[in-house]
Structure 1
Amino acid sequence: MAAPPAKGEVQWMPVPEAPANCPPGLEYMMQIDQLLVHQKIELLEVLTGWEQANKYVVKNTLGQQVYFAAEVSECCQRQCCGSAREFKMSILDNAGKEVMCMQRPLRCDSSCCCADWRPYMEVEAPPGNIIGYVTTEKCACLYPTFMIQDASQQNVLRIHAPVCGSGCSCSPKFHVRSLDGQDVGLIQKQWSGFTKEFFTDADNFGISFPMDLDVKIKGVMLGALFLIDFMFFEHGGGE
């Protein structure tokens, strides 16, 4: 498992006091209504085009690092299956402890005859304890509506993909809405500069949600961000 950067290299968010009902590691989420997610550029991938496991830093609006995220996946799948590959996203806190993980199984392309193609992610915090799921309501090729579900698979929020998807020149916005249609948050890809966009698939994202939203659901929304990155903006390997 990849280790987070040494403490001397980054400014970490101070650890807040956690209430009794908060999964260890999610106490950071209590004081946050926005997160900035920066994918780290892999030099080997830039030079050779050989798809590497993704790594991200997750920061608050003060620029303090909240988490370090590292993809765990098979090399063969990264090269051959591209963004459809099976992966685990391991989320580490400032002590290097794994506090969350997101599991995404291998998904066939929607054009094939396989019935198990729809995007899906399971979110655990701490690892081994399911706190929620990310699923879809509509066909992934027709701008899906993502569903944020709690541990009992009850729908909590919807995320609507933009019509332009990854093909427009603007910063695509994925609107987060309550079940009755009210806007409550946003996931948006940020422009990271022509050179970075042209030579790599490294992305920067912003995510916002209500401050008083259940920290478990905030964790599931972070998982949705990674799923969206793979579905819409990951173009290496077999793609």
Structure 2
Amino acid sequence: MAAAPNFDAIEMQPGQKAEWITKPDPSEVVGCPPGLEYLTQVDQILVHQIVEIFEAITNIEMKNKYAIKNSLGQQMFYAFEESSFCHRFWCKQGRGLDIHVVDNEQKEVMKIVRPFQCCAGCCWCADTDCCSFVIQVEAPPGNIIGYGKQTKSWWYPHLDVLDADKNSIMKIRGPCCFCQTVCCRCDIDFKVMSNDLKDELGVIQKQWSGCIKECFTRADHFGMTFPKDLDVKAKATLIGVLFLIEFMHFEQQNNSG
């Protein structure tokens, strides 16, 4: 496992230290994977990729780092990528990776595993496992609580949110266009739907970060909403799906910029 970062050195922006939310009392939360107690209190999270100055200057892909915050901007978790340089250089958005999610005590509370799949990506063929992007969510690490999986569609991106037994519990329906430019500053919504597609439960949203950040950095910003009473394991799995969407649709866009 990759070493946890030095939290004292983490900065959301140059000169600005991260403000961490107070950790809930684990004894007051029943049936929650240890370390994910924060998620019981929220119906919205923000995921901000931390700007890598070296990457912005050199165009060399670095390991991604993210702050996961509540709607007030208080940080709940810090997430960082573990992957090989060769995968980042040659496979780019299709690379295999692990994302380690740690709390303010530098304890790893969740791991998101994305295997390398050389033939995956085409939405027309995603009904076949070898052609479908998938992500596995573990909390605590080693204990699988859910999966996110690309599913077959003809144009619009479709994903399934699965429980630990690979039963579908929610579905994601995305837009046909992922364009964000100076002339097209709208946010991009991926709707979180009930399993029967009758109810919209929330949204995963790629947010417009502003002209300078979008044009000159590769740092993506996301927001996500879901029912506050949704099972914690399902909320954690949705975080994994958010990262799957990031690498499927927006990492490639940034790399080509």
**Structure ranking higher on relative contact order (CA contacts 8 Å, 6+ apart):** 1
Equivalent residue, structure 1, for 2:178 = 165
Equivalent residue, structure 2, for 1:14 = 22
Quick one: distance in 2 between partners of 1:20 and 1:158?
26
1:6-155 equivalences under 5 Å are 6=8, 9-18=17-26, 19-109=29-119, 110=121, 116-139=130-153, 142-155=155-168
User: Does the 8 Å CA contact 1:80/1:237 hold for their aligned counterparts?
Assistant: no
TM normalised by structure 2 equals 0.86
CA drift of 1:107 comes to 2.3
Structure 1 residues 227, 115: CA separation in 2 closer, same or farther (over 3 Å shift)? closer
Fraction of identical pairs, as percent: 44
CA drift of 1:11 comes to 1.6
RMSD: 2.2
Quick one: distance in 2 between partners of 1:93 and 1:223?
16
Quick one: distance in 2 between partners of 1:153 and 1:4?
36
Q: Check if 1:185 corresponds to 2:202.
A: yes
Quick one: distance in 2 between partners of 1:184 and 1:17?
28
Structure 1 residues 174, 205: CA separation in 2 closer, same or farther (over 3 Å shift)? same
TM normalised by structure 1 equals 0.92
Paired residue secondary structure (1:81): helix
Paired residue secondary structure (1:41): coil
CA drift of 1:174 comes to 0.2
The number of residue pairs the alignment matches comes to 237
Quick one: distance in 1 between partners of 2:9 and 2:251?
29
Paired residue secondary structure (1:234): helix
Equivalent residue, structure 1, for 2:191 = 175
CA drift of 1:108 comes to 2.3
Task: Name which of structure 1's ranges 15-24 and 217-226 shifts more when overlaid on structure 2.
Answer: 15-24
For structure 2, the 5+ residue unaligned runs are 11-16
Letter in 1 for 2:19: Q
Paired residue secondary structure (1:187): strand
